[in-house]
Structure 1
Amino acid sequence: MEKQRSFFKKLFINILFVIISFLALLPIISLLVSSFRPSSELMRQGISLDINWAGMNLDNYEFIFTQAPEYWQWYMNSLIITGLTIVLSLFFSSMVGYALAVYDFKGRNVIFLMVIMILMIPFEILMLPLYQLFIDLNLIDTYFGIMLPLIVAPIAVFFFRQYALGLPTELMDAARIDGSTEYGIFFKIMMPLMLPSFAAMAILQGLSSWNNFLWPLLIIRSNDMFTLPVGLASLLTPYGNNYDILISGSVITILPIILLFIAFQKYFVSGLTVGGVKG
């Protein structure tokens, strides 16, 4: 009796998760189906799950690959910015979080408190002062200007700090006895132990940078510097909407994030779990 109850409980949970997963994927499925419709039909009916096999074709994708060079320029901009943001953010944020966790120095708690306070402040409040600062630094309409606010992200610093609190300090002491420098301890000993946290933050920071819209919209001036979110949004104008690029381009835009998650999914859950309970 107990086994049957356990079986039906697991079956119910599995069915529930399948339904939830389907509902979560429903917008993406609708977008994928709509990307095969003619642009004229999209303007009349919008995005939906209605499948008209006779009217579906690959014209929208053919248009993107043959007649939309600006889309691929936006795509390349997003790839460059996201790739550099992930690398720089993981490097600097991990070092800051690691230092706040394992070193006892004057002002450590004050710095960590400032990180927490910044986490509580909406970006919209900091946006205008940052914009004025970037004008003074002559970083408007540059890759570095887009990336800089995300390079040392407070959420990444907080996460790495929590994860580093669980690292064995005995390894640090042993390495110091062997003559290793503090940089050597971090890069050769501690960083390999932090790989799950790096994988988790790579996904979260990559997703944040890839979908970043408000800050690039504010700081970008030229069409050649548009990222994908800004570029696709620019297709919606009072004078007409280019659905040929907008819908099919949105489908292609999802692919890098899916590949990023597949690449790091092995460590993603364990990295989030360990980083969330330490400290």
Structure 2
Amino acid sequence: MPEVTTRPMTQEVAAQIKVRRKQRERVRNVLAYAVLIVIALIMLYPFYWTVVTSLESTGGIYQPKWWPSDFSLRNYAEVWRGTTVPFWRLIVNSLIICTLGVFFSVTLATLAAYPLAKMKFPGRDLIFYAILMLMVLPNEAGLIVNYITTIKLGLLSQTDFPVLDMAKQYLAVVLPGMASIVGLFLLRQAYLGVPLELLEAARIDGASELTIWRRIMLPLALPTIVAFSILEFVAYWNSFLWARIMLPDKELLPLSAGLLELSGTFSTNSRAVMAGAVITIIPILIVFAFGQKYFMKGLEGAVKG
């Protein structure tokens, strides 16, 4: 008889505990989402403020606002005709620099990560961790060295061939970012997740290391490669300081650096600069929108590796 009465009591207590646990979990989720929403709003408001300001033709630009007081697209028209260099040329320059930068960075990272992940040689891990230690250095620490190297390579010298000079100046902007430590780390971690049995089977079949890298490693690491490509695209698209240093010819400036041409000697059209900033951000948003799936999957795979 006691067993009959104890069992329902035990089930009731267990049900109450389960309900309380779900309630606590629901409260934690609500609080977590609330905090994340607040952080997201704080992060998004500067961009929203930039968009609103770019759509106004009059009024103050520093007062907080939720909607344009005087809706106008005049600032966007001013961007297209207000720069010393044609705006379309700035966009073309950015696309050329991003294409070259992403291609060389991804190629070098995918090649360099393979021996550091799948080949055995003395000092392999020491070399990798020594490279990682360089990440603590700010990019500005290498400006002088990179500038001297660029000069020694003759990338800033002028010739009688304008097309060659233009190609060399584009290469000068891309060169310092080709060897990406972040890309090397991401690709090495992705390669570490590839089973050694696949590589051994390919070697038994007579495949060379280059063939293994091209036909096995690259397809399996594709999400990480796409994620790294997106990161590099954003980095090159936003290049400003190095581009201003290495490109004395304003006709070759990328978009982010070329927006400075909207500023006059004695005054600045702040709303036009805001409109230019919005136009600059749009391609990045498009790239993230279409590559979000691969981006998240690639970073997740790199961290697991």
TM-score between the two structures when normalised by the length of structure 2: 0.82
Confirm or deny: 8 A CA contact 1:197 1:275 kept in the other structure: yes
Q: In 1, are the aligned partners of 2:226 and 2:295 still within 8 Å (CA)?
A: yes
Overall identity of the aligned pairs, in %: 31
Query: In the aligned structure 2, how far is the partner of 1:47 from the partner of 1:123?
Result: 35
Q: CA RMSD of the aligned region, Å? A: 2.1
| 2:9 paired residue number | none
Structure (1 or 2) with the larger CA radius of gyration:
2
- Of the candidates 103, 109, 132, which is equivalent to residue 119 of structure 2? 103
Instruction: Name the counterpart of 1:51.
Output: 67
Separation in structure 2 between the aligned mates of residue 15 and residue 34 of structure 1, nearest angstrom: 28
Aligned to 2:105: 89
Q: Structure 1 residue 240 and structure 2 residue 267: aligned?
A: yes
Deviations 1:161-186 (A, max 9, x none): 12212211111111122222222211
Asked if structure 2 preserves the Cα contact closer than 8 Å seen for 1:30 and 1:47, the reply is no
Aligned to 1:199: 226
- What is the CA-CA distance between 1:81 and the residue it aligns to? 0.8
Any conservation in 2 of the 1:203–1:261 contact (CA below 8 Å)?
yes
Task: Tell me if the contact between 2:52 and 2:68 (Cα under 8 Å) persists in the aligned partners.
Answer: no
For 2:65 and 2:107, locate their aligned partners in 1 and report how far apart those are by CA, in whole Å.
43
Structure 1 110/16 Cα, relative in aligned 2: closer, same or farther at 3 Å? closer
d(CA) in 1 for partners of 2:172, 2:123: 29
1:26 aligned residue: 45
> Counterpart of 1:144 in structure 2: which amino acid?
L
Which residue number corresponds to residue 131 of structure 2? 115
- Quick check: 2:56–2:271 contact (8 Å CA) kept in 1? no
Change (3 A) 1:84 1:213: same
Distance of 1:6 and 1:277 partners within structure 2: 27
Residues 64, 244 of structure 1: 8 Å contact kept: no
Structure 1 residues without counterparts, runs of 5 or longer: none
Equivalent position to 1:73, from 71, 77, 89: 89
Runs of 4 or more consecutive aligned structure 1 residues displaced over 6 Å after TM superposition: none
Long gaps (5+) in structure 2: 1-18, 157-167
Tell me which of 284, 287, 294 is aligned to 1:257.
284
Q: Of the candidates 169, 188, 206, which is equivalent to residue 179 of structure 1?
A: 206
Matches of 1:222 and 1:48 in 2, distance apart? 38
User: Measured at CA, do residues 52 and 170 of structure 1 come closer, stay the same or move farther in structure 2, by a change above 3 Å?
Assistant: closer
Offset at 1:113?
Answer: 3.7
2-structure distance, mates of 1:182, 1:266: 30
Give the counterpart letter for 2:28 in structure 1: K
CA contact 1:115–1:158 (8 Å) conserved in 2 = no
Separation (CA, whole Å) in 2 of partners of 1:188 and 1:88 = 19
Q: Does 1:4 align with 2:23?
A: yes
How many residues in Structure 1 have an aligned counterpart in Structure 2?
A: 274
Using the size of structure 1 for normalisation, the TM-score is 0.89
2:225 aligned with 1:209, yes or no? no
